[in-house]
Amino acid sequence: MGKAKARNQNSPINPRKSSQSTSDTLLRELELLLEHYSSDAARLPLSPALQTLEAQSLRDARELGPVTEEKEAIGKLADELRMINDILEKHEYNKSSLIQILLDVQAQLRWLPKPALRWISERLDIPLGQIYNIVTFYKAFSLVPLGRNIVQVCLGTSCHVRGGSRRLDSIEQILDIKAGETTADQEFTLQTVNCLGCCALAPVMVVNDKVYGNVRMDGIKNILDSVRGKSK
């Protein structure tokens, strides 16, 4: 017994393995919690880590829309964490792929919620503060939920002299939001950019990945209507 203990103390610690087993335990606990919500059993006391996850998942779910059941929010969080595991697996838990991992997660969730960042931090054994430094530095990342459609209006020099600002005013009016905001129904997020590299087409706007050149004032509403309700 004493020998075995000594061997354990001397064995090298694999931080990735250790953080993964913590995460695996939490994921399993979430699944149990989900089963618990599905049953009519009396509420069981939760571990502090699970209480934190539960509270965060409810907060995040409320930000995305009305939540009628805790079960729904917890189920959603468990699905998200499994999805992140798949992305981490795809990148072979490579710390140097952190930015691509974050982009992939954001592409799935449309933002980077706190539990997702904490999960990535634990699984890759990268301090959470370091991950926050990256996501707050790059404009591509969002810590608030983005709309299903991302509208970008170019305000670079060429677009500006050809009426880019007036196009922006018009879009702000139609969507009833300012640049940098998301509509209440989560349908659109409006952003401005400085140059999209296609100045010959000025004024330019992009909706999701589609570039619209020589945008006319009277064509803006049609462009927005053409994507409304199409993205999930």
Closer residue to ligand FES (CB): 169 or 187: 169
The answer to whether the beta carbons of residues 109 and 143 sit under 8 Å apart is no
Query: Reduced to 3 states, what is the DSSP secondary structure of residue 108?
Result: helix
Residue 211 Cβ vs ligand FES, minimum distance, rounded to whole Å: 9
- Tell the smallest beta-carbon distance from residue 225 to ligand FES (Å): 23
Binding residues for ligand FES, rule: CB under 6 A, are 154, 156-159, 195-196, 198-199, 202, 204
Token pair 């189920």 is at which residue? 75
Judged by beta carbon, residue 166 or residue 230, the one nearer ligand FES is 166
For residue 198, the minimal CB distance to ligand FES (Å) is 5
Cα(111)–Cα(141) distance, integer angstroms: 7
Q: Which residue's CB atom is positioned nearest to ligand FES? A: 156
Whichever of 116 and 205 has its CB closer to ligand FES, that residue is: 205
Q: Which is nearer to ligand FES, 145 or 213 (CB)?
A: 213
Contacts of 25 (CB under 8 A, 6+ apart): none
Give me the residues paired with residue 51 across strands. none
What are 1's two structure tokens?
């017994």
